[in-house]
Amino acid sequence: MNTGFNSIRKAIILASAAFALSACSPAPESIAPESMAPADPTFTNAAAVQQQFADGSLTSVALVEHYLAAITEHNHQGHNIRAIIEVNPDALAIAAELDREREQGITRGPLHGMPVVIKANIATADAMATTAGAKVLEGFITASDAEHIQQLREAGAIIIGKANLSEWANFRGANSISGWSGIGGQTRNPHVLTHNPCGSSSGSGAAVAADFSLLAIGTETDGSIMCPTSVNGVVGIKSTRGSVAGHGIIPIASAQDIAGPMARYVYDAALLLDGMATSDARTRFGMPLSEAAQQPFTGESVVLVRSYDQRFVSVQALTNQVAEALRNHGVEVIEVTEWNLPSDLGQAEFEVLVYEFRRDLEQWFADFDSPVQTMQEVIDYNLANADTELALFGQEYLELAAAIDLEGDKDSYEAALTLSRELAEAHLNRYLQDLGAAAIIIPAYGPSWPIPPVEGPGYSFGTSTAAAVAGYPSITIPGGKEGPLPVGLSMMGLPWSEAQLVSLASMLENELGGFQQPQFLPELPATNAED
C-alpha cells in the first residue's frame, strides 16, 4: 500500500530552487542545501523559512518587513484587497528581539520568528483592537490575550496584524455580504478582485493568498475557515471540538466556535496548529502534526463523495483526479453519490447558534470589560447609525438572539443541541464507522461568486456543516480551478484523527499541485463569466 510515497518523498528532497513556489510541504530537515528558497521571501513557505532562519539567510525582521510592505502596497491601495484591518506597530520590534534570541542560540520552538495574521474577533493584549469588525467596538483594546494567542506568543510567533472578517463572524443579518465589516470594508478575492473571499475568516484567507503573511488564524462556526480557504485557494484546518482553547474569541456559539490555521501549504497549517492546540489535544493527536505532514497516509480506504460532479466541470475533474491518485497509492476508494444532510439538522443547528449567541456574546462582553455589555446595546448602536451600519443588510440574527429568554428557552435549546449533534454524527458515521473509512473526501465549496452589486451567479454549494456541528476535524486544500477561481477539496475524519488527515492532505497536495499564486484579475474574463 502507498508504494508511491517513497518516490514522492525522494522527489521532495531533491526538489530544485523552485521549491518555495511548489505544492510540496517538506519539513526543514528534508531540504537539501541546493534546494533552499531564494532570499526573496515572496510566496515562501514555513519549511523554507525555518531553513533560512537556521542558516542565517533570512531574519524575522526581513520577513516582517516584506509583509508590511505588501500590506502597504496592496491592502488599501494597489489591488485594494482589504484583508487587513490594522497592523501591529510593535511587529518589527518583536521580530528584532526574536532575531537577537536566535543569535544567542535561543529558539522558542518551530514557530520562532514567524509572522501570523489574526482574525479581528480574537482578543490580543497589544496595540491592536478586538472588534469582530463592528463599529460599536472600534478601538477596543483587550487587557488579555485569547488563550491560544498567548500560546503562540510563547512559541515565538509574531502577531503582525488583525484580519478583516464578515462582521460579527457573518451572524448579524440574513442577507449579510461575506467579507464585509463596518470597520474593514469589503475584502476582495485576490484571484478575481470583483469576487467574494467568502467568510467569515475572509481576511485571513485572502491575506495568505495575497502574500500579506506567512500564516493566519481564522475561526469557524460552520464554514468560516473552510469556505474562505476553498475560494482563496489555500489550506485551512478545523480541528476536533475542544482541541484549541476557545476563550477570547468573540463568539457566535461555544458549541461550534473554534480557531484554526490558514496557510498556503499543509505543512505550514499543521505547524501553526501544533502551536495553537491544547496540551491535551497534542497528546491525543499522537504526534506533532507538522511531522504527520511528512508521514505516509496509512488508511486502507476512503469515501469519495461525488454528489457535486455535475455542478462544475472543475469539480468532476477534481474527483476523477483524486480517485486515480488514491488508487495509485494503494488506497481503496469507496465512491458515493449521496450527501443529503438530515432534514432537521439545519433548523436544530440554527436554534443552538441563536441561543448561544446571546448567552456567549454577553459573557464575552463581561469577561473582557467591553464598552457595550448587552446585545441590545449593539442593536441600538446600529439603529442609531443605520445610514452606514445597516445600509447594505440588516441585523435580524442580533434581534433574534436578543429576544432569547435564556432560562425560559433553555430546555428547547438543550434538546436542539443534542439533536443537532446526533444527526451530524450519524451522518458522518455512516461513512467513517459503518464503511470503516479513514476519511471522507468531498469538494469543499463551489467557486467564488461576484460581490454585490456586481451581477453574476451566486453562492453554489458548501459541505462544512456536518463536521462543524459534530465537532469532527476537517481540512481543506486547493483542489483545482474553475477558470481563474479556486475550488477546494475537504477531508473529514473521526475525532482526534488529525494526524491521519494531515498525512492524507499532504499526499493529495502533492498530487493536485497545491497552492497557485493569485492573478489579481480586475474582473472575471468574459469567457468564464458565462460558465
Active site residues: 119, 200, 224
**Cβ–Cβ under 8 Å, residues 327 and 333:** yes
Phi/psi-derived region of residue 493, left when phi > 0, alpha when psi is between -120 and 50, beta in every other case? beta
Q: In angstroms, rounded to a whole number, what is the distance separating the alpha carbons of residues 520 and 81?
A: 9
Residue located via cell numbers 488583525: 162
Q: Where are the beta strands (DSSP E) in 82-214?
A: 84-87, 115-119, 158-163, 180-181, 185-186
All three cell numbers of 37, joined, read 528558497
**Cβ–Cβ under 8 Å, residues 486 and 447:** yes
All three cell numbers of 4, joined, read 508511491
Element (H, E) at 315: helix 313-328
All three cell numbers of 292, joined, read 504527520
What is the total residue count of the chain? 531
All three cell numbers of 15, joined, read 526538489
**How many C-alpha atoms does 150 have within 13 Å on its Cβ side?**
12
Q: Where are the beta strands (DSSP E) in 125-278?
A: 158-163, 180-181, 185-186, 215-220, 235-238, 258-263
**Cβ–Cβ under 8 Å, residues 468 and 253:** no
DSSP 35: G
**Cβ–Cβ under 8 Å, residues 95 and 113:** yes
Q: What is the largest CA-CA distance in the chain?
A: 67
Q: In angstroms, rounded to a whole number, what is the distance separating the alpha carbons of residues 303 and 435?
A: 8
Helix 410-432 × helix 345-367 angle, to 10°: 120
- Count CB neighbours of 327 within 10 A: 11
All three cell numbers of 307, joined, read 454528489
**Cβ–Cβ under 8 Å, residues 189 and 202:** no
CA dihedral 207, 211, 214, 215 (to 10 degrees): 20
